[in-house]
């Protein structure tokens, strides 16, 4: 029988969770706070059963990120909220995501796949053979890994303005769609062509 737990958390903390991992609305913030609590309980359950006992701070952060990705309504958060949540620099946040992907590939596979699909579906046309996506460095690295593993296509390329915008060639989009299991017609940036 599932246990019911009442969270006695300050409203400011709930709002912070909602700002970091939700859409900022009160309803989203409550759902996110509940998901963070579920992730924390899952961590304690793994500790209590001895199934997963982290050996150091890095191991603990990777486990916590994996559990957040499993429980948060939006799946794996972007690099910036991860950095804010764990009090890390942007480079440290990217390293944490990379390490978590390496340590827990099957556990993060769905979250990374869904984030890549969402980025492709929300893309914008750049030119006749290129779309533009918005993606964190970690997500772009995941997509790059797919492209270079499966083809000679040019991987996603960061825009020169230093933003989180990436250009993806049509050939790379075709590879990504095939590997992610979506139809190329779902890629918004290519639909107008």
Q: What is the pLDDT of residues 52-74, one digit of tens each?
A: 788 899 999 999 999 999 999 98
Pair 48, 41: CB distance under 8 Å: no
Determine the pLDDT at residue 1. 62
Length in residues, the chain = 193
Determine the pLDDT at residue 193. 53
CA distance to 60, 62, 97, per residue, from 57 (Å): 5, 9, 14
pLDDT in tens, 173-184: 999 999 999 999
Name the β-bridge partners of 165.
134
Determine the pLDDT at residue 52. 77
Pair 43, 62: CB distance under 8 Å: no
Determine the pLDDT at residue 89. 96
Determine the pLDDT at residue 169. 97
> pTM of the entire structure?
0.85
Determine the pLDDT at residue 75. 87
Distance CA 145, CA 74 (A): 22
Measured at the CA of 70, the angle between CA 44 and CA 187, to 5 degrees, comes to 170
Q: For the chain, list residues with pLDDT below 70.
A: 1, 192-193
Determine the pLDDT at residue 74. 87
């Amino acid at each position: 029988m599932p246990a019911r737990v009442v969270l006695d958390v300050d409203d400011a903390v709930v709002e912070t969770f909602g700002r970091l991992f939700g859409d900022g609305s009160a309803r989203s913030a409550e759902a996110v706070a509940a998901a963070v609590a579920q992730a924390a309980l899952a961590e304690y359950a793994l500790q209590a059963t001895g199934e997963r006992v982290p050996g150091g701070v890095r191991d603990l952060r990777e486990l916590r990120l994996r559990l957040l990705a499993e429980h948060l309504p939006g799946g794996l958060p972007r690099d910036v909220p991860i950095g804010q949540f764990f009090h890390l620099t942007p480079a440290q946040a990217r390293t944490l995501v990379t390490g978590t992907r390496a340590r827990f590939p099957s556990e993060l596979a769905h979250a990374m796949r869904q984030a890549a699909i969402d980025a492709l579906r929300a893309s914008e046309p750049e030119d006749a053979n290129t779309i533009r996506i918005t993606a964190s460095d970690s997500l772009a690295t995941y997509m790059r890994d797919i492209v270079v593993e499966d083809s000679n296509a040019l991987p996603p390329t960061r825009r020169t303005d230093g933003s989180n915008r990436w250009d993806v060639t049509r050939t790379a989009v075709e590879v990504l769609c095939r590997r992610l299991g979506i139809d190329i017609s779902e890629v918004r940036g290519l639909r107008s062509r």
